[in-house]
Amino acid sequence: MKIFITATDTGVGKTYTLLKLLQLSKEFGLRAAAFKPIETGVTRSPEDGSKLLRKSQEINPNLKNLTIDDIVPYRFELPAAPYVAKKGESIDLDLIEEKIEKIYAHCDILFIEGAGGLMVPIKKDFFMIDLIQKLHIPALLVTPSKLGCINQTLLSLEALRKRAIPHQWFINLFEDKESFYEVTYPFYKDYFDEVPLDLRSILHRYTHAYMA
């Protein structure tokens, strides 16, 4: 199966979450891998992509011959949305899909990390949420724990629902951690009943739903 890791915004912890998912997948007995089609803010080597490559190769020996070009095919220096960062260069969506299938041939579960949030532009009229839809895969929305995250979370979940994209969400509990249970948790508990803080449980649901 394939899962697209997205977020409410940049800097929320997609790569951190993905690295944890890779390790959990190994514990679940699954051959896992990561793929990040586009990384911006790259001066020498892609920081996030390099972490994902190392972790993927560590837990899945089938990936020993992969290179950073396989994991992060598009890398741009400007720390901006891909549409801006590419500065007129072309992003070939077919190439992205080819890279995905190349890696997927060597694993049971592939995590694909987007750049920024759902409405980050890749092309003038093509956004991250469009890429998820084009790939026909479920999404995992990573949300922050800081003050203001309720609004970001609800807007992003609404966007996924409107596109009929199967999804779950996960709270990366790191910002305003001390006040989260007083300031934010009460609403989440009343509105959603279940507050998604356990990544192991979330991965179990995905594997049960798509790999049974």
Annotated binding site for Mg(2+): 15, 113
Which residues are known binding-site members?
11-16, 40, 113-116
Where does the chain show beta strands of DSSP type E? 2-7, 32-35, 38-40, 74-76, 109-113, 121-123, 126-127, 139-144, 167-172
- Give the C-alpha separation, 55 to 68, whole Å: 12
For residue 167, give both structure tokens.
């999804």
For residue 1, give both structure tokens.
């199966």
Contact by Cβ (8 Å): 199, 20: yes
Catalytic residue, candidates 2, 20, 26, 36 = 36
What 3-state DSSP class applies to 95? helix
**Residue 36 among the catalytic residues:** yes
Q: How many residues does the chain have?
A: 212
Which residues are known binding-site members for substrate?
40
Which residues are known binding-site members for ATP?
11-16, 113-116
Task: Give per-residue burial for 116-130: e unless 16+ CB within 10 Å, then b.
Answer: bbbebbbeeeebbbb
DSSP letter for each residue of 52-71: HHHHHHHH-GGGTT--HHHH
- Give the C-alpha separation, 207 to 211, whole Å: 5
Positions marked catalytic = 36
